[in-house]
Chains A and B, each alone.
Chain A
Amino acid sequence: MGAALMPERPAADLLDPRFLKKLDYLNVVAKKLFSGAFRGERESRKRGAGTLFADYRRYAMGDDLRYVDWNVYGRLDALHVKLFEAEESLELVLLLDLSRSMDFGAHHKGTVAKRVAAALGYIGLSNLDAVRVWVLRGGAAENEFWAKGKPATTDLLRFLAPLPCEGTTDLYRATVPAVARVHKRGVAIVVSDFLDAAYAKALKFLLYQKFQVYAIHVVDRLEWRPEVEGTLRLVDLESGEHRDVEATPSLLHRYRQAFERRARELERFCLASEIGYSRVPTDVAFDVAVLRLLRKGGVLR
C-alpha cells in the first residue's frame, strides 16, 4: 500500500469545465427554510419582494398601492395588499477535513474531498447561496472562505487547490469555533473520512446549532480493503504512533470487518440523527460520485 499519494491537482484540475455545466442544474437540498443574509433564490420565512404570492394583509398607510389587490377590494370592499415570499440566499457551510489522515489513498482522499467541496461550493455559488468553507485541522477551523455569486467560483477553486493535508483530526473542537463565526443558519456539509472517534459529537453540535447537516464520507480502497502482507510497522499518519503487526489474511479480514463496522455505525448514526449521509469512494469516477452518490444521498437534487 504505502503512502502512495497522488500529487495534488492544480486549481484548474479540481473541476472540469464540462463537468461544471452538469452542476448548473443541481442544487443543494435544504429541507428547512432558512433566512439568509442576502437576496437569493431560496425560499425564506420572510415576506418580501419576491415573485411567489404568500398572503394578504390589510392595507396600511404607506403601503405601495401597486400591491393592492383590487379584485379583493371589489368583493370585500376593503383594501388588501398582496404579500410575496422573500427570496434569500442559503448559508452553505462546507466543513472540509484536511488532516493528515486525508493525505492517503490510492486516489488521494484529500484531493477527492477538495473536489467534492469545490463541486458543492460551485453549486451553491451558482444558486446565489452564501458559500462558506472551513478547513478543519488539529482542532481548529482555518482558512475561512466566504463568497456569494457564481463569479466567485474561480476564487473558490484557487482557495481549495493549494490546501495541504496536515495536522490531526478533532472534528468537534474544530467545528465549534467555525460555527461560532457563522451568524446565519443553513446547510452544513462535513466532508471527512470520519476516522475521528468523536465525529458524532461534532455532527450533533451542528444539529444543535440548527444546521441541516450532511456527512460526506470519503473512503479510499486502500483503507477499505488494504492489500498488504508480511511483517509491517504501521505508522499512524496523524499521531506518528506505530504498531508492529503481521499482515496475515486473517488480520486483514478482521480489519475489513472493523472498517465496515465503523462505516455502518456512522451511517446508522446519520440516519438516526436525520443527517444526510453519502459515502464517496475515491476510486469512483468523480462525476459519478457527485451526480449519482450525492444525489442518492439527498445532498443534491
Chain B
Amino acid sequence: MQGLKFVDPSALWMLAAGIAIVVLYFVRRRHRPLDVPSLALWIEAAVAEAPRLQARRIRSVLSLLVELAVVAAAVLALARPFRPIVLPETRTFAVVVDVSPSLDVRVGQNGERRLDRAKSAIRRFVVGLAPGDSALVLTSEHGGAVIAPLGTAVPAAIAAIDALHVSVESDPLAAVDRAASLVRDRSGEVVLVTDLASVASREASARSAVRTIPVVDDATNVGIVKLDVEGGRGAPRSLRVTVANFGDRAAARTARLVEEDRPDRLLGESPVSVDAGAEASVVLAVPDDAAGAVRVSLDPGDAFTADDVALVDVPRAAGLRILVLAREEASAPLRAALRSLEGVIDYPRSSVASPERYAELRRGFDLAIFDRCPPPVALLGPAIIVGAESAPAPIRAVGTIADVGVVESSREDPITRTLDFEGLRVGRSRQLDVPSDGSTSVLLRGGTEPLLVLSRGRVPFAVLAFSLEESDSNLWLLPAFPLLVGRLAEALAVDGLRLTPRLHPGDVVDLTKQLGPGHRSSLLADSGGRTVATLETRGRVPWIPPGIFRLRSASGEGARPSGSAVIVDLERREFSDIRCGRPAASLPTTEPRFKEGRQELWILFATAALALLALHWFVFGTGSPRR
C-alpha cells in the first residue's frame, strides 16, 4: 500500500459503511429474551450442539470479516487508487550531418579532418542511444538525404556514417527542415552536426528546436575555467571570472552576467583579453538585489561553446533564512550544522499541521529543513529532509554519501570548473539514477563510501556529506536549487566527515577522450587492504572538458555512460564543488528519460471485491450465516 494515491479520496468516506456492518453484526448478535417453560431440555440440546455452535460462531466472524473486506475493496476501487510510477520515455532523433566542403579541412595534427570528427561524434551518439531511443541520420546533401533510416540498428547506422563524404550539393537549411518534418509526428529532436563555417549552416543551427553539435577546432577555444564569489552575506558581492585561452592565438571576449531566472536582465559585463595559453580574470559586480543563481557567459568567439557559460550561486545580501520544521528538538548534528552555517538568521522550529499552514510558514524563507517529520506534498522550494521517518516516496535509488558536491547536467547551461588532478583520489563509485523530472529523492546515509552521481538531463542535484554520530540517522535530500543547497551542504559537512574510501580493484575510470590529445589518464591502484583509487594524468590537465565519463570494470563489462560526476578528495576531506555539464561540443544526451505515469489499481480492487463477494456467497450462502 506504500505510495498508494487516490483519484477520488472523498470516496474513502464510504468506508464508514464498514462501521454500519459491524454495528449490524452486533445488533444481530444481541440475544432476544424468550420465556420457556423449562430450560432443561434446551440445555440438553445445546450441550449436544456445542461443537457445531462453536464452528458456527467462527463462521459468523469470518463472514463479518469477508463482508468488511468486500466493502473495503469496493470503496477503495471507487476511490480510484493508483500508484505513481516512472515510465521510460523514448525519444527520436534526426541527426543531420553537414557535409559541406568546409568539413574537408584538416584540423588535427595527425591529419584528421572536421568530417572525421563529425563522424566520431555521430558514432558516439548512436552507440550511446538509450534503450528505446531511435535515430535517423541524414546528410545535408541534396536538401537532406537519409543514410540511416529510423531505427535502432546501430551497426547499420555506423556503417552508413563511416561512408560519409563531403558534397558540393550540401544544403544544411533544407536538410534540417526535412529532418524536422520526418520526426515531427514523433515529437523528435533535430540534431545538427556542423562546423558552422557557412552562413547556411549557422542559419540552420539558429533554428529553434535544433540542437547544434559544432565540430571543434581546438586551437580557437576560450572558456571560463573558474568562478569565485567574493563578498556576500551583507558585504558587497562580486564575481571573479577566470578565463583561459586554450588556443594558439590571443583572443578577446566579453563576459556578461545575468540572472539565471531572468536571462533578459543584464547585471553587468566586462571585456576580457587572454593571450594564447594564458588565463585572465575579470571582476563583475553583483547588484544588491540580485541573488541566487547567476549566469556568466562569454560572447561566442569559437565553435566550442561548452565552456562559454557558467553558473554560480551568489549569496543573498541578507542572511539565509531557514525554516526548520521538527516535531521535537532538532537533532544534535543538525543544530551543530546550523550553528556553523554563516548567514543563517532565522530558523524557527515548527511542525507541519497542514499544507496550508506549511505554505504560510514557508513564505519568506529560503530553505526548509524537515527534521524527522514528513514533508507536505508540495515542498514550495528548496528543502532538506532529515531522518528516515521523513522519507519521501518513492525512493528511486539509495547511495552512500561520500562528500559534498553539486551535480548538474545540462546541455544548455554547462558549467566547467578548474580541477587539479594532482593528488586527487577517487573512491569507489556507485551509480545513482536520477531522472530528469526533479521529483526523485536520494537516501544518503552517514556512511563511508564515496558516491558517483550520474544525473540525467537537467537535474539540479546536491549531495551532502553528513556523518552523523547516530547510526540510524539518515539524511534525505530532495533536488532543489543546487548551489544554495550545495552551500548549505558545505557548511553541514565541515565537521565529522568520516570516510573510508574504497574502490574495487580493477575499476577503471577512463577520461582519455575528455582530456584530449596529449593527456592520458589511467586509474587506480590497490594500497593493501585499503583500496584507494588514485587518478594519474600525464601532463597538466588545465580543465575538465565536460563530457561523457565512463566507468567500467577491468573486464570491460558493465560500461555505464554518465553525464556528470562528483570526484571527491578524500584525503583532504574537501568537497569539490564540481559541476560537470555536458558541453555543447558533445552530443545531446541519450540517457533514458522518464516521465510520470500512474498504475491504475481500481480494477485490482474491484476484482478483489467481486472475488470476495463470490467467496462469501459460495461459503456462507446468500442468507445471513448468523441466523
1/0 per residue, CB under 8 A from A, across B23-45: the answer is 00000111111111111111111
CB-CB < 8 A to B49: which residues of A?
A: 248, 250-251, 254
CB-CB < 8 A to A100: which residues of B?
A: 37
Q: Does B378 contact A (CB under 8 A)?
A: no
**Contact status A232-B34, CB under 8 Å:** yes
**Contact status A248-B52, CB under 8 Å:** yes
Q: Does B163 contact A (CB under 8 A)?
A: no
Q: Provide 8 A-B residue pairs closer than 8 Å at the C-beta atoms, listed in order of the A residue.
A: A1-B36, A2-B34, A104-B36, A231-B30, A243-B42, A251-B53, A254-B49, A257-B45
Question: Which of A104, A197, A233 meets B33, CB within 8 Å?
Answer: A233
Question: Which of B38, B45, B626 meets A195, CB within 8 Å?
Answer: B38
**Contact status B39-A231, CB under 8 Å:** no
Known: A2-B35, A223-B37, A257-B45. 9 other contacts (CB 8 A): A101-B38, A193-B37, A195-B37, A230-B28, A242-B33, A248-B53, A255-B45, A258-B45, A259-B41
A109, closest chain B residue (CB): B37
Q: Does A237 contact B (CB under 8 A)?
A: yes
Q: Does A29 contact B (CB under 8 A)?
A: no
Q: Does A246 contact B (CB under 8 A)?
A: yes
Q: Does B332 contact A (CB under 8 A)?
A: no
CB-CB < 8 A to A195: which residues of B?
A: 37-38, 40
1/0 per residue, CB under 8 A from B, across A168-183: the answer is 0000000000000000
CB-CB < 8 A to A102: which residues of B?
A: 37
Q: Tell me what chain B mostly uses at the interface: helix, strand, loop, or mixed.
A: helix
Residues of B within 8 A of A (CB): 28-46, 48-49, 52-53, 56-57, 626-627
Q: Looking at chain A, what size class is its interface with the partner chain? A: 35 or more
Min C-beta distance of A104 to chain B, whole Å: 5
CB-CB < 8 A to A267: which residues of B?
A: none
Min C-beta distance of A163 to chain B, whole Å: 17
A249, closest chain B residue (CB): B627
Q: Does A284 contact B (CB under 8 A)?
A: no
Q: Does A239 contact B (CB under 8 A)?
A: yes
CB-CB < 8 A to B33: which residues of A?
A: 232-233, 235, 242
Q: Tell me what chain A mostly uses at the interface: helix, strand, loop, or mixed.
A: mixed
Q: Once bound together, how far apart are the Cα atoms of A104 and B35, in whole Å?
A: 8
**Contact status A229-B34, CB under 8 Å:** no
CB-CB < 8 A to A65: which residues of B?
A: none
Q: Once bound together, how far apart are the Cα atoms of A38 and B187, in whole Å?
A: 127
Q: Once bound together, how far apart are the Cα atoms of A248 and B32, in whole Å?
A: 14
**Contact status A237-B28, CB under 8 Å:** no
**Contact status B38-A243, CB under 8 Å:** no
CB-CB < 8 A to B32: which residues of A?
A: 230-233
**Contact status A239-B39, CB under 8 Å:** yes
CB-CB < 8 A to A236: which residues of B?
A: 36-39
Question: Which of B30, B43, B52, B627 meets A243, CB within 8 Å?
Answer: B43
Min C-beta distance of B33 to chain A, whole Å: 5
CB-CB < 8 A to B34: which residues of A?
A: 1-2, 228, 232-235
B47, closest chain A residue (CB): A254
CB-CB < 8 A to B626: which residues of A?
A: 231
**Contact status B627-A3, CB under 8 Å:** no
Q: Once bound together, how far apart are the Cα atoms of A283 and B556, in whole Å?
A: 101
Q: Does A262 contact B (CB under 8 A)?
A: yes
CB-CB < 8 A to A242: which residues of B?
A: 33, 39
Min C-beta distance of A224 to chain B, whole Å: 10
**Contact status B48-A241, CB under 8 Å:** no
CB-CB < 8 A to B43: which residues of A?
A: 243
Min C-beta distance of A102 to chain B, whole Å: 8
B52, closest chain A residue (CB): A250
Min C-beta distance of A200 to chain B, whole Å: 15
**Contact status A254-B38, CB under 8 Å:** no
